[in-house]
Structure 1
Amino acid sequence: MHRALFLLDPEEAHGLALRLLALWSERGPLLEVPGRLLRVEDPRLQVEALGQRFPNPLGLAAGMDKDARALGAWWALGFGFAEVGTLTPRPQEGNPKPRLFRLLEDRALINRMGFNNRGALEAAERLRRFRQRGLSFPLGVNLGKNRDTPLERAAEDYLEALRILEPFGDYFVLNVSSPNTPGLRALQEGPFLDELLARLRPATPKPLLLKVAPDLSWPALDQVVGLARKHRLEGLVAVNTTLAREGLKSPLAREAGGLSGRPLRGRALEVLRHLAEGARGLALVSVGGIETPEEAWERLKAGASLLQVYTGFVYGGPLFPRRLLQGLLRLMEAEGVSSLRELRPS
């Protein structure tokens, strides 16, 4: 079934997979019984971060389940947490199609989706219903602004989305780094970001994180870290998709949008290592190009508290979380690490 999806247009395949997972997500015992078999439940994998206990460090990145349609399925497939969104206050269609491309030769994706979602209110109702099921599964919520909201009023959009969704998320991520909403990345610049965080931080006692672009310079990343500290944020998600195109083989490489997957692996690791040197006290969520247990282990040892995947899961299929976590346990045993808590201070 997974391979058959690759015969379809990428966005059609994504939609079909999500509809099937959403149906499974609502099935009660038909979800939870196989979920107990698929999940890798091992106390050695537990992580304390963001004021939460995560059953394992592997999370689903934002973008896969924008509207929180398949939350139970992500739990059943073995993820330690999931991040929904990007969600905007009002529903929006996003950019014109086609807007999602598979670069098979590069094990990568390019997307220019443009924050297509059905709005914060609809997602809040789904999150509320999921919470009633009582599954122990941390949830993050990724927030953005509507395309037609001018930059000078962006904070109002983030505040409104946060107000609607705040009761249901365990942590919240401000997406100021997508390349697919015109002007959005300007919010990473000092004056915009300072004002945005000054307004958002008092709006919730829950953990607040920033998602940063891989294309920022080291001084710009350092400025982001400084502002995150100033406004008492709990962490950073590093990194979003990239506009870089070096070394790609696919004929689709020139498509506009953000690149994710294997080509992002090196830069994501560089950014993580840079942040780990200067962001002590901030939880670092590493995302970008993670496909193997060895790559996951490298990120954890480099300073990541948590990991996220999207493109690796698309190419790896539904058993990807189980394979990666089992491999991670083997690497821990080989290096004599009895718990992930040994890698990072709590």
Structure 2
Amino acid sequence: MTRLTRTVYGALYSRVLSRVDAERAHLLATRALALLARAPRPRLDPALRVSALGLQFDSPLGVAAGLDKHATAFEGLNTLGFGFVEVGTITAIGQPGNPKPRVWRLAQDRALMNAMGFPNPGAEAVAPKLAARSGRGIVAINLGKSKVAPLEAAADDYRASARLLAPHADFVVINVSSPNTTGLRDLQTIEHLRELLAAVRGEAEGKPVLVKLAPDLSDEQLDQLADFAVEAKLDGLIATNTTISREGLHAPAELLAKPGGVSGAPLKARSLAVLRRLRARVGDQVLLVSVGGVETSGDVLERVRAGATLVQAYTGFVYGGPLWARRINAELARAVRAAGATTIQELVGSEMGVGPGVAHGAPAPDGARG
């Protein structure tokens, strides 16, 4: 992205997009992305290639769940330079989500706050969209609990979604960490996760299954979940979802009093701290995906060095504009070479003095796909 392009997007954002309701702007953006579905994918620098989860990623930088809630924009997002896209969150039963307004920009904090509550058309409606995908790019599916499903029926609810969606995705994410569905975070206990994991794995047809964690867990809870991930041979952990903390935010008190999760820059320090704690606990036995407050190529590289094989963004992309991923990738490739590495994968966990070489679940070179 040239300086001129960034300036033009900045002017467009400040003068037009910022004046549109945040959720309305999101809807318009996803519609525009859908029009890019047939555009050519950019050729990314070989220095960015990562082998993980039995897949070959062109870049470790992906799109976090929450941007494409209706499975309409993932093909377009793949043309912007992202290495993978996580669709969802999708529930077994379609639902409208929480009452509007439910998305707010915290521009001074370079953040977003949302209380969406998993609005989506439901697994049955999304399945044909994923089944019709072009096959270009790597696509994950993020599964959540339907609001009408009681906690004691959560495993059956996730099982129903996985049965319909897992066959059409490259990997599956169990979301038990959004703060916007009542009781959902209660499913982060070992007892519940064991049941959910068995239910989803039973329908996943051998696809990798990951679990997404909240940033607001205590260190003791994180350690317990890390140990469970190793014991259960979980394919990966995604850290982290949005935070319910309002610490250090500059938005008006009446806005911050609303329920919802905060994403973006305020989450950066906690997300990195959670990643480092998980890496120290699981080593390279469980693949780690870092998300939360990723704004620059330096942020991506820092997460990789701290132990993340893959890194996701959402809010940084929203504020950065459509060419953000290409700029990050170009800067990242230069940084990899400056570090004396051939590929970014060599730098995974390097701040601890070790690198895994090939990440958990990586295929042999002739087994590449994606």
The TM-score, its normalising length taken from structure 1, stands at 0.94
CA contact (8 A) 1:201 1:231 kept: no
1:5 aligns with 2:17: yes
- Range with greater deviation from structure 2 (238-247 or 326-335): 326-335
| Residue in 2 that maps onto 1:163 | 163
1:120 aligns with 2:123: yes
1:92 aligns with 2:104: no
| Residue in 1 that maps onto 2:262 | 259
Distance 2:218 2:88 in 1: 26
Give me the identity figure in percent.
50
| Residue in 2 that maps onto 1:151 | 151
Which residues in structure 2 correspond to 1:253-332 (within 5 Å)? 253-280=256-283, 281-332=285-336
| Residue in 1 that maps onto 2:196 | 196
1:229 aligns with 2:230: yes
Task: For residue 193 of structure 1, report the CA deviation from its aligned partner.
Answer: 1.9
CA contact (8 A) 2:45 2:330 kept: no
CA contact (8 A) 1:237 1:286 kept: yes
| Residue in 1 that maps onto 2:364 | none
Task: For residue 5 of structure 1, report the CA deviation from its aligned partner.
Answer: 1.8
Task: Give the 3-state SS of the residue equivalent to 1:255 in structure 2.
Answer: coil
How many residue pairs were aligned? 334
Check 1:256–1:40 CA distance in 2 against 1; reply closer, same or farther (3 A cut).
farther
- Range with greater deviation from structure 2 (120-129 or 211-220): 120-129
Deviations along 1:95-130, whole A, 9 cap, x unmatched?
000000000100000000001001112211111111
Distance 1:95 1:306 in 2: 31
| Residue in 1 that maps onto 2:141 | 141
Task: For residue 40 of structure 1, report the CA deviation from its aligned partner.
Answer: 4.9
CA contact (8 A) 2:103 2:112 kept: yes
The one-letter code matched in structure 1 to 2:51 is E
Distance 2:337 2:256 in 1: 40
| Residue in 2 that maps onto 1:14 | 26
Task: For residue 256 of structure 1, report the CA deviation from its aligned partner.
Answer: 1.4
| Residue in 1 that maps onto 2:78 | 75
The structure 1 segments of at least 4 consecutive aligned residues displaced by more than 3 Å after TM superposition are: none
Residue ranges of structure 2 left out of the alignment (5+ in a row): 1-8, 349-355, 359-370
| Residue in 1 that maps onto 2:182 | 182
Distance 2:237 2:314 in 1: 17
Task: For residue 23 of structure 1, report the CA deviation from its aligned partner.
Answer: 2.6
The one-letter code matched in structure 2 to 1:247 is G
Check 1:22–1:249 CA distance in 2 against 1; reply closer, same or farther (3 A cut).
same
CA contact (8 A) 1:103 1:253 kept: no
CA contact (8 A) 1:198 1:231 kept: no
Deviations along 1:209-255, whole A, 9 cap, x unmatched?
00000000111011112222232210000000001111111113332
RMSD of the alignment, in Å? 1.3
Distance 1:200 1:117 in 2: 19
Task: For residue 203 of structure 1, report the CA deviation from its aligned partner.
Answer: 3.0
Residue ranges of structure 1 left out of the alignment (5+ in a row): none
Deviations along 1:280-334, whole A, 9 cap, x unmatched?
2111000000001111110000000000000000000001101111111121222
Distance 1:231 1:11 in 2: 38
Distance 1:126 1:86 in 2: 14
The one-letter code matched in structure 2 to 1:17 is A
The one-letter code matched in structure 1 to 2:73 is A
CA contact (8 A) 2:102 2:115 kept: yes
CA contact (8 A) 1:101 1:111 kept: yes
| Residue in 2 that maps onto 1:336 | 340
Distance 1:236 1:225 in 2: 8
Task: Give the 3-state SS of the residue equivalent to 1:92 in structure 2.
Answer: coil
1:244 aligns with 2:245: yes
The one-letter code matched in structure 2 to 1:139 is V
Distance 1:198 1:12 in 2: 38
CA contact (8 A) 1:115 1:144 kept: yes
- Range with greater deviation from structure 2 (1-10 or 183-192): 1-10
